[in-house]
Amino acid sequence: MKLYGIALFVIILLAAVVQAQDTTTTRPFIIYFLCLKPCHYWKRRGVPQYSYWATLRESILNIILYRTISDNVQKIYNDFREERYCGIYQFYLPTLFIKDYELIKQMMVKDFDHFTDHNQVLAENTEPMWQKNLFVLKGDVWKDMRATLSPSFTSNKMKMLFGLVSDYAKLFIKNFENQPGTTTLEMKDTFTRFTNDIIATSAFGVNCDSIRNPNNEFYMMGKDITNFGGFKSNVKMLFWVLFPRAAKFLDIRVFSKKATTFHTNLIKENIESRLKNGIVRPDMINLLMEARKGRLNNEEKVEADKEKHIKPQLTDEDITAQALIFFVAGFDSVSTLMCFMAHELAVNVDVQERLQNEIDEVLSQSSQELTYEALLRMKYLDMVVLETLKKWPPGVFTDRVCVKPYTIEPVNANEQPLQIETGQILWIPVFALHRDKNYFSEPERFNPERFSNENKSKIPTYAFLPFGIVLTVLLYFLCFKSFIHWKRRGVPQYSCWVILRESLLSFIPYRSISENVQKIYNDFSKERYCGIYQFYRSTLFIRDCEIIKQVTVKDFDHFIDHSQVFSDDVEPMWERNLFALRGDRWKDMRATLSPSFTSSKMKVMFGLISEYAKLFVEYFEKQPGVITLEMKDTFTRFTNDVIATSAFGISCDSFRNPNDEFFVMGKNVTNFGGFKRNTKMALLMLFPRVAKYMGITLFPKNAYKFFDKLVKENIESREKNGVVRPDMIHLLMETRKGRLNCEQDSENDKEKPAKRQLTDEDITAQALIFFFAGFDSVSTLMCFMAHELAVNVDVQEQLRNEINLVLEQTSGDLTYEALSNMKYMDMVVSETLRKWPPSAATDRICVKPYTIDPVRDGEQPLRIETNQVVWIPIFALHRDENYFTDPDRFNPERFNKDNKNNINPYAYLPFGIGPRSCIGNRFALMETKLLFFYLLAKFNIDVVEKTVIPLKVARSAFQLTSHNGFWLGLRSRNLK
C-alpha cells in the first residue's frame, strides 16, 4: 500500500511536469531533477544498478503493474546474477537488494542489532490497535515485547493448542463428508472460513463454525476487520501512510471502530470472566495472560532468539493487539498456503497418494486418534508443506531498516566498502532465492524430496526463508479483492491485472475519457452490459438500449440519483444545485425549476441572447481580412456574456472589456485545470472531512462571496424598485412567488409545481450551475460545430443558404419561431451533438434493489443493490455503427425528416434521457443556433494553417475538447 501511495504521488508529480508552461526550458530541468537525479544514489556509491532511463522505465512499468511483484523481484535477481547485491529504487526511494545468502546471514543474524526493524508501513501513533502489535514495534520496545511473547510460542505451548485446532479440522471435514459425489469448491473461500474459526478459538477463545453458520457475529466482525479491499479502505490506507498526523487528528482507523470495539470488549470480558471464575482454556488468551503474570519461561534458546525473559507489563490493549495481528496474518496467509498446497497435490497425484499413505499409516499406528507427537513425526507431510512454502512463499520479499551505521566489506574483486546509513531500507528477495537453481535444482518443479533427510541439509539455511514477511504482501494483494465483485456475480469484466493497470493509467492520463469509454464498449461488443471499476468502486457499464430505457425511464424510480461527487456538507456552492441534489430534494427542485425552461420561457430570453449574438458578430466585422482565432477562447467569452445577462442579470462585454469583474470571477470559478485545483478536487472527493476541517472548497471563497452578493443585491434591487428583466433571476423569483405553472409539453417534463420555498442561496446555486454548464459545455459544442463546418464546406454552404432564406422571409429580423423552424440548422446541431456529445458518459445510482432479467444464453438474473453505480456510455453509443451508419463521418442528413425516425432514441443521448435529463437543453440549443445564424450570415468559417485535421481529443480534460485548441478563421463574405 505504501508503494501504491508513492505511485500516486509520482503520477501526480509527472502530471504537474506535463502541465509545465515553459516546455523549452523549465520542463527538461524539472524532469531531470525530479526523475533522474534521485537515480544517481547507488551509482555514486559504486553499487551496481540499472541505468537512469531503465530505472525510470521500470518505475513507470511498476505504476501500471506491467509485472507482478514476484516477476519484478525475479527480474532484478536475474539481471544482476553475478553481484552479491545491487541498488534499486522504490519510486526513487533507494533500496539495497541483497542476493548473497552469506551476506543475508551476516546482516540478519550475526549483526542483527544493526537491522532490528521492519520498514514502517504506518507512522507511529496513527492507529491505536496497530502500533502495539509485534510486527510494527521497533527497537527496545520490540525486543521487550518479543521477549515477553516468545515463551507463548514454544513447542510445549503449541502442544496445548493442538487439541483445539484438531477438533476444528475434524469438524471441517464432516461438513463435506455428507455431500454426495465430487464436491467442487473455490478453496480460498473454503480454507479462509476454516482459518477464521481456528483463529477465533485459538486467539480469542471463541467457538464458532463459519461454514454451518456463515453469519455468526465473530465471522462477520472478522470479515470487517480484515477487509482492506474497496475504494474507501484503500483511500484510508493511503491517507494513513501519507498523512499520519491528519489521520490521527480525524480519528481515522486502520481497523473499523465497530470491529475494534467488538474485539477489545470480547477480550476484556474474556479475561475478566476467566480471572473471576478461575477458567483455564488452552488458547492464546491464556498464554498471554500467563505471560502477563510472568509465569512463562523462555524454553527455546535458538540462535536467532536469545532474548532473556523480561517483565514489561502486558495490558489488555497489548493482548488485544497481538491477538488481532495473529488474526490478520492467520486468516489470509495460512489459507493461501493451504490453497497452493491443495493445488499442487491435485496436480501432482503421485505426491498426494504418497502423503495419503503416510496419513493412513499414522492413523493405523495411533488407533485413528492423531496425537501432537505423531503429527510432528510425519516426515513426508513436513516435506510437502516445506516444498509448498519453497515454491509459493507467503512473502515475495522481506525487508529491514538499518538502525545504526553498518559497513559491508568487499569480497569480490570489483567491490569496495559500502557504508549503509541509518534509515536505509534493505530487501531480501525470498521468492527469487527460492527459485535459484544454485540452491534448488529444477526450482519450478514441485518436488518434496528436496526436503528429505538426505537432501535438506544441502539447502543453504539463508536461501530458504518462507516466513520472511507476510503483512507487506497482504497489503499488496488486498488491492485485488475489490476487483472480483462483478466476476462473482457472473458479469463480464476485465481481468484483475488489466483493471489495476487501467486504473493507474487513468492518472497519467494515457487516454481521454471518451477513448476509455469507447475501448470498454468495443472490448465487450457481444455483451448487453459489463462490469468496470472506478478506483475500486464497482460500476455497471450498460451497452443495451433496452436496459437503458428501463433504467432511465420505465424503472426510473430505482435510479433517481446521480453519483455523488462531493460530500453533502463539504461544498456549500455545490450541495444545493439541481445536478447534485438527490431523492425528494431533487424532485422538489426539479418541479420548482421546470417552469423556467419551457418553450414559452425560452421565448422570453430569446431577445437577450439575440442581442449578444449580434454584438459578437459586430465585434469581428470591424476587423480587416481573415481573422484567425482560437475558437474555444472566443466562444467562451460569448457564452460568459450570455450567462452573465441571462442567469445573473448582469450586462458585460468580455471582448471589449477583457478584465470585466464578472468575467474574471467566472474564469476563476470555472478553472478546473492546474495541479492546485486538481489536488483540491481530489481532497474534496476522497477526504471530505479533512477538506471541511481545513476549510477547503472547490470554488474560491472570494468568488463564492462575489456571486452570492451579486444575486442577493440583484434580487433586493428588483424587489425594491419593481425592476422586471426577462432573465433567469426573474424566472426564479417568479417561481419563488408561485407565479409560474409547469407546462407539460414533453414526455420528460411531467412534474407538478412543488411548494418548496426557494431561498436566495438556492437561486445562487442554480444560477451558478447553469453558469458552469453554459460557460464550458455550450462553448465546446460551438467549437466542434465550427470545426465541422470549416472542414465540411458543403454543409456550411447549405446551412448558409437556409440562413439567407430565413433572413429574406423575416426581412432581416429573426424571430423565435423562425429560428425554431430552421430544419437544416437543427440537423447540423444534432449531428454535432451526436459526434461530439457534451459528456462521454452519464451515470445513475440505484436507490432501491433492482433485477436485470436474463435475455441471452449464458446470462443469469443480475441483482443490482442499493448505491450501485450505473454508467451509460453516450459517446460510444453515438459511434456505434449499429445505430449510425458510417459513425465517424459528419452527416447532418441522418437527422432529416425521413431518417431521424429511424434513430433509436436510447442510442442518441446528448443531454441524457428521462426525468433526469438536462433541464437547460432548450437554452443551450437556442444559444448555439442564434450565434451561428448571425455568424454565418456575415462570415465564412475557414480552415487555417493551425487547424488540426483530423481533430485530436484532449486526454486530460474532464469533457470532450481538442488537444491542440480549435484554430479557425473568420472570413467576411464580402472578401473573395
Please state the CATH superfamily assignment of the domain spanning residues 139-335 in this structure.
Cytochrome P450 (1.10.630.10)
3-state secondary structure of 425: strand
Report pLDDT for 17.
Answer: 40
Backbone angles phi, psi at 953, to 5 degrees: -75, 135
Sign of the dihedral through C-alpha 65, 68, 73, 77: negative
Whether 576-836+913-972 and 2-125+396-469 are alike in CATH topology: the answer is no
Backbone angles phi, psi at 336, to 5 degrees: -65, -40
**Smallest Cα–Cα separation from 783: which of 554, 530, 954, 666?**
954
Please state the CATH superfamily assignment of the domain spanning residues 576-836+913-972 in this structure.
Cytochrome P450 (1.10.630.10)
**Smallest Cα–Cα separation from 641: which of 632, 653, 629?**
653
The C-alpha atoms of residue 429 and residue 398 are separated, in whole angstroms, by: 7
Domain locations along the chain: 2-125+396-469, 139-335, 500-572+839-909, 576-836+913-972
Report pLDDT for 385.
Answer: 92
Annotated binding site: 918
- State the CATH class of domain 2-125+396-469: alpha beta
**Smallest Cα–Cα separation from 256: which of 165, 365, 128, 142?**
128
Cβ(598)–Cβ(926) under 8 Å?
Answer: no
pLDDT tens, position by position, 471-483:
333 333 344 556 7
Cβ(772)–Cβ(707) under 8 Å?
Answer: no
Cell numbers found for residue 487: 466476476
Report pLDDT for 476.
Answer: 38
Annotated binding site for heme: 918
Beta bridge partners of 538: 533
Greatest C-alpha distance within the chain: 111
**Smallest Cα–Cα separation from 704: which of 712, 716, 715?**
712
- State the CATH class of domain 500-572+839-909: alpha beta
The C-alpha atoms of residue 721 and residue 884 are separated, in whole angstroms, by: 54
Cβ(147)–Cβ(308) under 8 Å?
Answer: yes
The C-alpha atoms of residue 127 and residue 349 are separated, in whole angstroms, by: 47
Tell me the mean pLDDT per 10 residues along the chain, length 976.
42 41 44 55 88 68 66 91 89 84 84 80 57 65 67 65 82 83 86 83 76 79 63 58 63 70 80 82 72 56 41 68 70 84 95 93 86 87 93 87 92 91 90 91 94 85 61 39 78 80 65 89 96 84 97 95 70 71 85 81 87 93 90 91 82 85 75 58 62 68 79 86 79 73 44 60 80 83 97 98 96 94 98 95 94 92 94 97 97 95 95 90 94 97 94 76 91 82
**Smallest Cα–Cα separation from 100: which of 386, 436, 399?**
436
Report pLDDT for 309.
Answer: 42
The C-alpha atoms of residue 921 and residue 900 are separated, in whole angstroms, by: 19
* Structure letter (DSSP) for residue 405: -
The C-alpha atoms of residue 959 and residue 949 are separated, in whole angstroms, by: 20
Within a 10 A sphere around the Cβ of 404, how many other Cβ atoms?
12
